[in-house]
Amino acid sequence: MARYQVVPRTLIFLFNQDRVLLLKGAETKRNFPALWNGAGGHVEYGETILASARRELWEETGYRVDDLRLCGIVLDQTDPNLGIEVHIFRGDIDPLPAEPVASAEGEPCWFQRQDLQGLALVPDVMVYLEKIYSQKTGDPVFFGRVSWLEDGTIPAGAVLFDS
């Protein structure tokens, strides 16, 4: 039996006071077109997880934020042979240096927390945001796992966290 392997990815949620920056995926994207998500993507060969998060945030929003905090690591175990290890970061930016810049990945936009429920979000985004909203300074990193259904949805309660 072959060893289980994972692809490292980053997911970054940037906050400005009580707003969060989300990216509406481009219609041409293979995964999650036209759905709202945090910034992020694959870790490139030769870069660290943190360097990848900073690069992805810059490429997808035009924001440079050095002070990103690792909030959680979630293992997507949908494929029994190849998983995705998502490193979830939080950044805070205040004051805003400028408006975010769109990219080929999509259109970034700031949202108030109460406006998130009506958005077409990637199915696990709200679960991760709720974990981040509940974290306090000094709390440990959270760890979890998820398995998606073939139709691209996640059943209720399918994102499991270690206690």
Tokens 């997880």 locate to 49
Q: Is the pLDDT of residue 92 over 90?
A: yes
**What residue type is 62 in one-letter code?**
G
Q: Is the pLDDT of residue 15 over 90?
A: yes
What whole-number distance in Å separates Cα of residue 94 and Cα of residue 127? 25
Q: Chain-wide mean pLDDT for the chain?
A: 93
What whole-number distance in Å separates Cα of residue 141 and Cα of residue 144? 10
pLDDT of 123-144, one tens digit each? Answer: 999 999 999 999 998 999 999 9
Domains (range + CATH), the chain: 5-152 (3.90.79.10)
**pTM of this prediction?**
0.94
What tokens appear for 100 in the block?
A: 């975010």
Q: What is the model's pLDDT at position 1?
A: 62
Highest mean pLDDT among 51-55, 97-101, 149-153: 51-55
Pairing of strands 68-76, 142-146: parallel
